[in-house]
């Protein structure tokens, strides 16, 4: 069973009079519990792919299944509900609400789930702040925290809904090297302990070094798949065929 299944997905955007194809015939399956990096240069399509997996956007064609649910069949409200219950997000700019304390930021996404009681919300906030090592900073606002601490709050917030998937868009980009490594080690520990699937959009080699699965992208195509074997990558290269090329021309 795959937690995410992507079948022949294309994504187009309109820019004025032009149509820009951001993704070309993407097919990918992601199994539960992996620590996966989607890597590539700026403009490669990795953030677009992350947004599609996160139900923030829909494909122009093709199918995407999240927890075996076809997102193309869902309304905007249904997609919002799926995100609220199944997908956690971690951003490079933290995206914490400045007027709320660390604990209140972690609790915030839980308020969208009326079935979770106030007692359960408090229990989850305390539990996940403890996991990221910030219990004693629960009442601090974001401007009273370091960059690394703010990212830890963002991780706790993403985990509070107990998601099957956590999506992280360049989560170390605004952190110094030492703090970035600490954050990656923390996320890896959480991945192993809670078996939560982590999917990163990144061009940071540190993130790739911590991953156990790798998808390389360029110009909207997947160019390679990788599985880590001990400390080395077993990469399967994919040569995309530009429009008009024949299969016989592929190397």
Calpha distance 93→16 (Å, rounded): 29
CATH for 62 = 3.40.50.300
**For residues 29 and 81, is the Cβ–Cβ distance under 8 A?**
no
Residue 240, pLDDT > 90, answer no
Q: Mean pLDDT throughout 140-144? A: 97
Q: Please state the domain count of the chain.
A: 1
Whether 90 contacts 168, CB under 8 Å:
yes
Contact 211, 36 (CB under 8 A): yes
Q: Running DSSP on this structure, what letter comes out for residue 203?
A: -
Confirm whether 154 is domain-assigned.
Answer: yes
Q: Mean per-residue pLDDT for 37-63?
A: 93
**DSSP β-bridge partners for residue 168:** 90, 200
Strand order across the beta sheet in which 35-39 lies: 87-91, 165-169, 197-202, 35-39, 213-218, 221-229, 232-237
Chain-centroid distance of CA 159 in Å reads 12
Domain-located, residue 152: yes
Rounded Cα distance between 18 and 24, Å, is 17
pLDDT value at position 17? 85
79-99: pLDDT as tens digits: 999 999 999 999 888 999 999
Residue 246: predicted pLDDT: 47
pLDDT band at 248 (very low <50, low <70, confident <90, very high): very low
* Arithmetic mean of pLDDT over the chain: 91
Residue 92 within any structural domain of the chain: yes
Query: Could you list the residue range(s) of the whole structural domain that residue 234 is in?
Result: 4-239
Extract the runs of DSSP E, i.e. beta strands, from 52-169. Answer: 61-66, 69-70, 87-91, 165-169
3-state secondary structure of 37: strand
Q: What is the CA radius of gyration of the chain?
A: 19
Average of per-residue pLDDT across 165-181 = 92
Instruction: Give the pTM.
Output: 0.90
pLDDT reported for residue 14: 86
* Residue-level pLDDT at 243: 55
Give the residue among 175, 166, 180, 125 at the shortest CA–CA distance from 30.
Answer: 166
Q: 247 versus 194: which is more confidently predicted? A: 194
| pLDDT for the residue 124 | 97
Answer yes or no: is 24 within a domain.
Answer: yes
Q: CA-CA-CA-CA torsion for 100, 104, 106, 108, nearest 10 degrees? A: -90
Burial class (CB in 10 A: 0-12, 13-18, 19+), 114: exposed
Determine, yes or no, domain membership for 249. no
Q: Mean pLDDT throughout 108-113?
A: 93
Contacts of 165 (CB under 8 A, 6+ apart): 3, 4, 53, 66, 86, 87, 88, 196, 197, 198, 199
Return the higher-pLDDT residue of 197 and 1.
Answer: 197
Question: 61-66 and 69-70: which strand pairing?
Answer: antiparallel
Instruction: Tell me the pLDDT band of 237, cut-offs 50, 70 and 90.
Output: confident
């Amino acid at each position: 069973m795959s937690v995410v299944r992507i079948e022949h997905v294309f994504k187009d955007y309109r820019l004025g009079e032009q149509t820009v194809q951001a993704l070309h015939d993407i097919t990918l399956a992601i199994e539960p519990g992996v620590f996966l990096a989607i890597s590539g240069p700026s403009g490669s399509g990795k953030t677009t792919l992350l947004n599609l997996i996160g139900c923030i956007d829909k494909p122009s064609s093709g199918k995407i299944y999240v927890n075996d649910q076809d997102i193309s069949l869902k309304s905007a409200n249904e997609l919002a509900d799926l995100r609220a219950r199944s997908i956690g997000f971690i951003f490079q700019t933290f995206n914490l609400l400045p007027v709320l304390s660390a604990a209140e930021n972690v609790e915030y996404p839980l308020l969208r789930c009326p079935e979770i009681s106030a007692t359960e919300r408090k229990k989850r906030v305390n539990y996940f702040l403890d996991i990221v090592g910030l219990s004693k900073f629960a009442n601090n606002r974001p401007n009273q925290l370091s960059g690394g601490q703010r990212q830890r709050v963002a991780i706790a917030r993403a985990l509070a809904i107990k998601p099957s998937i956590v999506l992280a868009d360049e989560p170390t980009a605004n952190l110094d090297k030492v703090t970035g490594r600490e954050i990656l080690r923390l996320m890896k520990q959480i991945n192993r302990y809670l078996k939560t699937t982590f999917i990163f959009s990144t061009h940071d080699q540190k993130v790739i070094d911590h991953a156990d699965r790798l998808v390389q992208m360029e110009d909207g195509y997947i160019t390679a798949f990788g599985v880590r074997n001990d400390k080395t990558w077993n990469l399967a290269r994919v040569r995309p065929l530009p429009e008009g090329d024949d299969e016989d021309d592929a190397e």
